Structure 1
Amino acid sequence: MNAGVERAHGGALVVGVDGSEPSLRAVDWAADEAVLHGVPLRVVYACLWERYEGAVLARDIGRATELPLAQDVVGTAAERARGRHPGLQVSAEVVFEEPEYALVREARHASALVVGTRGRSGIAETLLGSVSLAVAAHADCPVIVLRGSHDNRATPPVHGRVVVGVGENPKESAAVRYAAEESRRRGVPLEAVRAWRCPAHETTDHPLLAGEPARLHEARAVEELDAALQDLPAGVDVQRRTVEGHARRVLADASHSADLLVVGARRREGHLGLQLGRVAHAVLHHSACPVAIVPHQGHDA
């Protein structure tokens, strides 16, 4: 398992808020998830501009104003979580820092981190916000980015299935283990999907050989899928599926009938750019359900 995931095991579940409607729906989902895993919920509001603009406003009107504004945001979110699950342990904190940096740091000690699709910008809600993208690309723990019309409830299940995308390397199984645990806790089947493609240069028009390259690629995909699933714990209801096509399209299609879509993301030490990969990046933008990005150590493909 990725070292970051192991280090975070057992920590609080963190949800990033900013006072927007998408972030309040994220609080609902995160509260459900925290109860599901039996961990505390930590609400974090990170905002750099309020530290400075609030200070200017305070000087102009003669009183401190930035903390009440910020505390209103986290206070409302925390009360919303407590109202949804009265027995849930909830803490809240305001951090005067750029949200992406603050949340990535929070992820070092979290069991998982939940963020909304976007914040208070004027960008359409169907697009992924820059903070969500940055956190998903750099966090050490699983990051759940909420998408879809049912993204404010982790339980009870809407579609009754968790989908995980399986890559070419069966050793990169952190995402599979995470997805199996999520499906077990929800009491729903796990659908493991392996997309495959036959390169155009391998096709042939000869009637005796037609389809042979495709069958070989599909058979290899079946083997890779079986290898990735061989160490799953007993009791997980697994449904295997191989599909011809681009992985990003196959998984986006599968998200329409899923409660949660899980994909892996490689992390390379010392690399400062986005560490998502093409498939994870695409499904974050196009999934019809919440997406969990699970990090693992590896090399770029």
Structure 2
Amino acid sequence: MVVPLVVGVDGSESSLEAVDWAVDEAARHAVPLHLLHAAAPGQDSSGLITAASKRAGGGAAGVRLSSEVLRDDAASALVDEGHKAFALVLGSRGLGELTGLLLGSVSLAVAARADCPVIVVRGSQEHRAGRFGNVVVGVEDGEGSDTAVGFAFREAHVRRCELVAVHAWSAPLGALSEPLPGPWYALEAHRRPPAQVLDDALRNPEKQYPETDVTRRVVEGSARQALWEAAAEADLLVVGAGERHVRPGLQLGLINHALLHHAPCPVAIVPIRRRKPLRGPTPKA
């Protein structure tokens, strides 16, 4: 059974933009699209979900569509739905959110708690419509971004576009004030050269998606700034997140938190996943 792409709707313009984006995304991956609205007991939500379904139905042809209204708080309902979702798609601000907020409280809570990829649809129409022809992924030193890299390759593959892999690094404290006999990373057995971090992270996915063009960017400096600059001309920014735990609370990290608030394009938060990968399109040999 193919699991659906789930989009949260609340009647806000931001959530309807997320519906538009999700229709195209479901078509690219050939997965069903499920519209979910969480309503308080006694609240009549039939008109809202009907309008959202009509909007989705007017999008890409061939997408199997379903909808549901749950009597639960929105964040909890979406997180629960994420256990059996291809991904969750959300708007950047919800109905009734203060104008000055950069990211709605529900979107932030779901991005922090869900154990499936969460895409927050933000940015200009140009960014949301996929007109730049590339997907950007942030690569960390270690295994924290492995699942995110795989997700980003799959996105670039189905979009038939370029993948831009960005790794930002900083020299250890004292490297500028004390002369080094060789590269600083040669003095630390657990550190790899920055270029090798990218090569190691991309090696297996490049074999799986050989037709995807990849650009490597090694940047000395702030990861947040490097990713923000790359996202300025991107259709999607993909970043990894730590493995989810039972305890509540934000588990995004400072960089992901900042990108969700300020990135100029849709952002995908992809947690480490230990369970069996979800079914998606099979890459060409």
TM-score (norm 1): 0.83
Decide whether the 8 Å contact of 2:147 with 2:273 is kept in 1: no
Mind listing any 5+ residue stretches in structure 1 that lack a counterpart? 1-8, 55-65
Residue 256 in 1 paired to residue 232 in 2?
yes
**Of residues 109, 114, 121 in structure 1, which corresponds to 2:84?**
109
**Of residues 29, 42, 63 in structure 1, which corresponds to 2:34?**
42
1:279 corresponds to which residue? 255
Distance 2:178 2:157 in 1: 46
Helix, strand or coil at the partner of 2:125: coil
Q: By how many angstroms is 1:172 displaced?
A: 4.0
- Cα distance change on mapping 1:184 and 1:197 into 2, 3 Å: same
Q: By how many angstroms is 1:211 displaced?
A: 9.8
Distance 1:261 1:75 in 2: 31
Helix, strand or coil at the partner of 1:192: strand
Q: By how many angstroms is 1:203 displaced?
A: 1.1
Distance 1:36 1:198 in 2: 40
Distance 2:57 2:105 in 1: 29
Q: By how many angstroms is 1:205 displaced?
A: 6.6
Helix, strand or coil at the partner of 1:14: strand
Distance 1:193 1:165 in 2: 5
2:201 corresponds to which residue? 228
Q: By how many angstroms is 1:281 displaced?
A: 1.2
**Match of 1:227, as an amino acid?**
D
2:223 corresponds to which residue? 247
2:99 corresponds to which residue? 124
2:114 corresponds to which residue? 139
Residue 265 in 1 paired to residue 238 in 2?
no
Distance 1:180 1:93 in 2: 31
Decide whether the 8 Å contact of 1:161 with 1:260 is kept in 2: yes
Residue 179 in 1 paired to residue 152 in 2?
yes
1:289 corresponds to which residue? 265
Distance 1:26 1:91 in 2: 16
Larger Rg over CA atoms: 1
Distance 2:217 2:25 in 1: 27
**Match of 2:177, as an amino acid?**
T
Q: By how many angstroms is 1:297 displaced?
A: 5.4
**Of residues 148, 157, 163 in structure 2, which corresponds to 1:190?**
163
Decide whether the 8 Å contact of 2:38 with 2:77 is kept in 1: yes
What is the percent sequence identity of the aligned residues?
48
More moved, 228-237 vs 165-174: 165-174
**Could you say which structure has the higher helix fraction?**
1
Q: By how many angstroms is 1:137 displaced?
A: 0.8
- Cα distance change on mapping 1:215 and 1:275 into 2, 3 Å: same
**Of residues 11, 27, 38 in structure 1, which corresponds to 2:19?**
27
Q: By how many angstroms is 1:87 displaced?
A: 2.6
Q: By how many angstroms is 1:151 displaced?
A: 7.2
Decide whether the 8 Å contact of 1:100 with 1:131 is kept in 2: yes
Q: By how many angstroms is 1:150 displaced?
A: 2.3
Residue 73 in 1 paired to residue 48 in 2?
yes
Q: By how many angstroms is 1:76 displaced?
A: 0.5
Helix, strand or coil at the partner of 1:195: strand
Helix, strand or coil at the partner of 1:202: coil
Distance 1:216 1:187 in 2: 41
Helix, strand or coil at the partner of 1:74: helix
Q: By how many angstroms is 1:170 displaced?
A: 4.1
TM-score (norm 2): 0.87
Helix, strand or coil at the partner of 2:204: coil
Q: By how many angstroms is 1:268 displaced?
A: 3.8
**Match of 1:267, as an amino acid?**
E
Helix, strand or coil at the partner of 1:92: strand
Distance 1:89 1:120 in 2: 26
Mind listing any 5+ residue stretches in structure 2 that lack a counterpart? 275-285
Decide whether the 8 Å contact of 1:150 with 1:289 is kept in 2: no
